Structure 1
Amino acid sequence: MQEGRPYYPTNFPMIQSIAEAVTPARKRVLIVASPIWEESAAKILKGVAQYQRGENPWDTYWDNEGLSLEDPSWFESGRWDGVISRHTNALQVRSCASAGIPLVDVNNAQPFADVPNVALDNTAVGRLGGEHFIDRGLRNFAFCGFANLPWSCERCAGFRDALVTIGLSSAIFETVYPNYYTQEVTPGWHSAEIAAIAAWLVSLPKPVGVMACNDFRALDVLRAARDAGLRVPEEVAVLGANNDEARCELAIPPLSSVVTNHLRSGYLAAEALDRLMHGRPLEGLDLCVDPVEVITRHSTDVLAVDDRRVSAAARFIQQNACRGVTVDEVCRHAGIARTQLEEKFRRHFARSPQAEIRRVQLGKIKQLLQDTDLTLNAIADLTGFAHPEYMIVFFKRATGESPGRYRRKLRF
C-alpha cells in the first residue's frame, strides 16, 4: 500500500457480506481538509461526525494532505458516494462532475457553479469586529486585508457597515494575495508586506482599532506594530478572525479574534451531502453560517475613553452587569449625575448606560449557552435576571431566536 493513498481491501469476511445483505450499504465519503493550514479542519470534521452518527454511519476517508486536489485518479475509481472539501479547486470540481459524485464545498472562497457551498457570513464577521472596537470607545478604525479575496472584501464591508451606524469611517490597507499553490508567497513578499503595514500603521491617528481579515493577517499586523515601535493595545488594538486558538494564544500579545462556527459548517456540509447522496433537494437548508462572538485577549484589552468618570462607569458595568446592577448604582460608583452619564455614554459608545448593561448581559448569556450545559434557570441566575422567563423574553427580542435554538445552532 502506497503511503498517503486510499487502500481498499478486496477480501471481506463472509460475516460482512451477510451483514450487508440485511443492512443498507454504508455511503463512502471522502473528506478533504488539511489541519496544517488551519485549525478549522478539525472542527469541520467534528461537525461532520456529529451529523453522520446514527444507525447507518458513513465509511469516511480523510485526505488530510490534499492529495486528491492534484490527482483526478482519486475520483475515477468509483469508490466514493460523496465528497466534502475544505480546499475545493477546479480539478476536483471537474473530476466529481465527470464521475457523477456529489461534492459539497466548505471553502470560504468564491463558490463554484452548481456546487453547494457552506459559507461563513463574512459580512457579519466584519460587523462583529467593528462593534467590538466601538464597544471599547475607539474612534479611529482601520482594516487590513486582501483586495483579490472575496471573503476578505466581504469582511471589510461588514466592518465599515458597523462604523457607518455611528457616523464614522475606516482606513483600509489591501494588497493582492499571491497564489499559494504556485509558491508565489515567498519570504521576500512577506517581509515587504510587514514593512508596508508598519508604515501604514505609523500614519494612522491613535489610538486605533485595526481589524485584519483573518488571524494570519492579524499576526502580520502585530509584527508590523512591533517593528514600528507601536504599543499594542494602547496605541494599536488588533483583532483577527476565525479564532485559530493556537496561533492566537502564541501571538505577542495574545490575539483577540472573531469566532467562526466551523463545527456548524461541518454539520451543514454533512447534511447537504446526505441529501444529495439520497437524491433529495437542498431547498430549505440554509448553508450560511453566522459568527459566534469575539474572544477578547490582550491585543484589544483597552478602553479608549479619556473621560475618567465615563471610563469608571463602563468598567463598573463590565464587572457588575450580570449581578443585576442598575444605572443609579453605576452613577453612584462613578460619581456622576444620571443625565450627564446618559449624554456622555451616548457620545462615547453610541448607546445608553442601560443598553450597555443589557449588552454585557447578552454576551454572557451567549457564552454560557455555547460553553456550558447549564439550565436556563442557572443561566438567568448568573446573568442578573430574577426569573428565567424574563431572560428568555429579553434574549429573543435581542437575537430573534430562543436560547434553546441558539444553543442547538452553535453545537450542530
Structure 2
Amino acid sequence: MNRKTEVALAIPMGVPHLGRVVHGIREYAKMRTQWRFLISPETHDLPPRSLVGWRGCGVIALSNSEEDEQVLSSLNCPVVNISGALERSSFPRVRNDYRAIGESGAAYLWERGFRRYGFYGVEGLWYSREIESGFRGYLEKKRVSIKRLQGASSIEGKALWEEGQEQLDAWLLSQKPPFAVMAAHDPRGAMVIRSCERVGLKVPMDVAVLGVNEDSGTCETCRPALSSIERNGFEVGFRAAETLDAMIRGESVAKETILPHGNICDRESTQTLALEHPALESAVRFVEKRYRKPITVEQMAEASGKSRRWLEQAFREHLDCSPSEFLERYRVGVVVKRLEDGIGLSVGMFANEAGFSGPRQLNAAFRRSFGKSLKEYMSC
C-alpha cells in the first residue's frame, strides 16, 4: 500500500455515537480521496499511544489527555482532533457546540415543568464543564439555580467503577422531587437511573434524566430507557475528514470548527410533566386523552375547573407556553414518537393520527417546532 494514502482513525469503533463519526469520515473519504484506514484487528480500538513510530498520511483522533497530545505531536503527519476532553488542543479540532447542548437540555426539561435541577458531570473534562455552563446559563435566566455533582473521570483508567456510587445516591436523596438531572453523557445518565432504583426514587415521576450522545446501546438498555441529545456525529466526522484532507494538501484550516448538535431523542426517562398544581394537571390529562379530537382552550379550562384566564397564566408560569401551544407541542410529540417507533404513514395519516385538521396544519406546526416540514424532518 502507498503509505501516503493511509489514515489512522484513533477512535473506538464500538461506541454508537463514534460509529456515526466514523461513518461521516468514510463517506467523505469515499467521495473525495483514495484513503485507506489503519485499524486494530482484535480490539477495534486504536488509542493514540499505539501509533508511536507509525508513518502515514494523517490521523483523526480522540485526543483526550496530555499523553495523547504528546504522542500525536510526535507523528510526522497532520492530525485532527474530535475530542472536547481538553480545553485546548495542539491540533485543529472539530466538535459540537457544548454550551448549546446544555442550553437545549435545560430548555427541553423546562418545557416539562421542572423547576428543580441537577447536573451530573465529570471532573477534569472540559466538555462536561461547557455543557454544564450552557445548562446553568439557561436556567439562571429563568432565575432557577442548579445543584451539581461531579464524578471522577475514567478516561485514563484510574477511577474504579464503584467510585462515587454512594455519593451519587446521597446527592439524589438530598433533592426534593420532582426534579430533573442532566448528565454530561449517556453512561453518567445510566448511572443516575440505576442510583434512583437503589434509593427508591421513580424515573421519571420523581427524577427525570437526560443524557448526551444518543448512544442507543446505553440508552435503550436502561430501565426506563434514557432520553438523550444527539451530537450529530456524521457531520462531525465528515467535517473532520474534510479538514484533514485540506491539511494533507497543505491548505490552511480553522483551529476550531464548531457544529450544532442533533435532535433530542425522547424516551421514558423524561416522558412526564412536573405539575404540582392539580387543576393544571387535570387540563394536561384532558389533552393526553382527547388530543386526537378537536380541543378548545375553553374545554381545557372546563376540565381544570378554573377560568380561561387562570389556565393561560398557569400554563405560562409552569410550562412556559400557552394552552394552545401546549396542545400543538403535544401533537407534534405524538408524530415524532411514532417516527421513532418506526411507524411509516403518509403526512395525511400522521395528521389524522395526532389530531391535526390536515397536512397543512401539521407541517405548519413542525415548522414552528423544528424549522422544517414533516417530510423535511423525516429526511434528516
Asked if 1:47 is matched to 2:24, the reply is yes
CA separation in 2, counterparts of 1:147 and 1:126?
17
Asked if 1:145 is matched to 2:121, the reply is yes
* Greater shift in the superposed pair: 142-151 or 348-357: 348-357
1:152 is paired with a residue of what secondary structure? helix
Letter in 1 for 2:268: H
Flag structure 2 segments of 5+ consecutive residues without an equivalent: none
* Greater shift in the superposed pair: 358-367 or 244-253: 358-367
- Which structure would you say has the larger Rg? 1
CA separation in 2, counterparts of 1:376 and 1:281?
46
Native 8 Å contact 2:64 2:86 kept in 1: no
1:287 is paired with a residue of what secondary structure? strand
Native 8 Å contact 1:323 1:382 kept in 2: no
Asked if 1:203 is matched to 2:183, the reply is no
Cα gap change, 1:287/1:380 in structure 2, threshold over 3 Å: closer, same or farther?
farther
Equivalent residue number for residue 49 of structure 2: 69
* Greater shift in the superposed pair: 151-160 or 371-380: 371-380
**What root-mean-square deviation, in Å, do the aligned CA atoms of Structure 1 and Structure 2 show?**
3.8
CA separation in 2, counterparts of 1:88 and 1:58?
25
CA separation in 1, counterparts of 2:187 and 2:91?
27
Q: 1:373: Cα distance to partner?
A: 10
Cα gap change, 1:377/1:101 in structure 2, threshold over 3 Å: closer, same or farther?
farther
**Which of the residues 63, 86, 100 maps onto 1:110?**
86
Cα gap change, 1:287/1:330 in structure 2, threshold over 3 Å: closer, same or farther?
farther
TM-score (ref. length: structure 2): 0.82
Cα gap change, 1:331/1:156 in structure 2, threshold over 3 Å: closer, same or farther?
same
1:199 is paired with a residue of what secondary structure? helix
Native 8 Å contact 1:33 1:87 kept in 2: no
Asked if 1:173 is matched to 2:149, the reply is yes
The superposition leaves residues 12-42 of structure 1 with CA deviations (integer Å, 9 ceiling, x where unpaired) of xxxxxxxxxxxxx983322121134x32221
Q: 1:84: Cα distance to partner?
A: 1.0
Equivalent residue number for residue 193 of structure 1: 164
CA separation in 2, counterparts of 1:252 and 1:204?
21
Q: 1:296: Cα distance to partner?
A: 2.5
Native 8 Å contact 2:231 2:262 kept in 1: yes
Equivalent residue number for residue 29 of structure 1: 7
* Greater shift in the superposed pair: 137-146 or 316-325: 316-325
1:238 is paired with a residue of what secondary structure? strand
The superposition leaves residues 276-317 of structure 1 with CA deviations (integer Å, 9 ceiling, x where unpaired) of 22233335x982222223322222222221333422433455
**Which of the residues 244, 255, 267 maps onto 2:215?**
244
TM-score (ref. length: structure 1): 0.76
Native 8 Å contact 2:301 2:311 kept in 1: yes
Cα gap change, 1:286/1:233 in structure 2, threshold over 3 Å: closer, same or farther?
same
